Chains A and B, each alone.
Chain A
Amino acid sequence: DAGVIQSPRHEVTEMGQEVTLRCKPISGHDYLFWYRQTMMRGLELLIYFNNNVPIDDSGMPEDRFSAKMPNASFSTLKIQPSEPRDSAVYFCASSWWGVAQYFGPGTRLLVL
């Protein structure tokens, strides 16, 4: 299996621009998670889906963030408009039955 795939791996953008991060979970996994990692706050869960349905989005920082999962093999995390404080590494993870989570390589986002 190819593992969890994320794109892009690196993104540099200017404040105010829209950013879209993409994730392909491991085939057959029914849970998908979006995390953010920063030096100040560590690893934080933003939102997770079960069978393509958002279950808990309480970690989404504000309305500028949105996530979708249109099908079992694709999810997006969108930031609009982006701000410098959104700079972080964003991870996508997937699991089967919500147990062991497998992480993608992450997207390093820098907002100037």
Chain B
Amino acid sequence: GIQVEQSPPDLILQEGANSTLRCNFSDSVNNLQWFHQNPWGQLINLFYIPSGTKQNGRLSATTVATERYSLLYISSSQTTDSGVYFCAVATGGGNKLTFGTGTQLKVEL
């Protein structure tokens, strides 16, 4: 099956700093999503982005499908950004998501 690798596995930031999270995948995809799992366990959909660039407030994402990677940018980080960020991809029919192992982010004051 498809392999999804996320880096870095752990990240500690000071509030206000910027960061870039990376997701590499081993095969062509037609579905790629970024999720944030907050410290209470809730999974929140950030972006549906099989290709191209999207922005939502302080967050933006870029997927370069031909090179099999996606990037999630967090600007001016806040403590509420803490949690685990997952990349998930699907091939073929596009509905069976495979999740990466996540990036654990902690934002400190």
Contact = CB atoms under 8 A, between A and B. Distances in A.
Interface of A: 31, 33, 42-45, 48, 50, 55-56, 89, 91, 93, 95, 98-103, 105-106, 108
B95 A42 contact: no
Interface residues of B, number: 20
Contact of B45 (A45, A89, A103): A103
A45 B96 contact: yes
Given A89-B41, A105-B42, A98 B33 contact: no
Contacts of A55: 95
Contacts of B86: 43
B45 A102 contact: yes
Contacts of A50: 95
Contacts of A56: 95-96
B75 interface: no
A89 B96 CA distance: 19
B78 interface: no
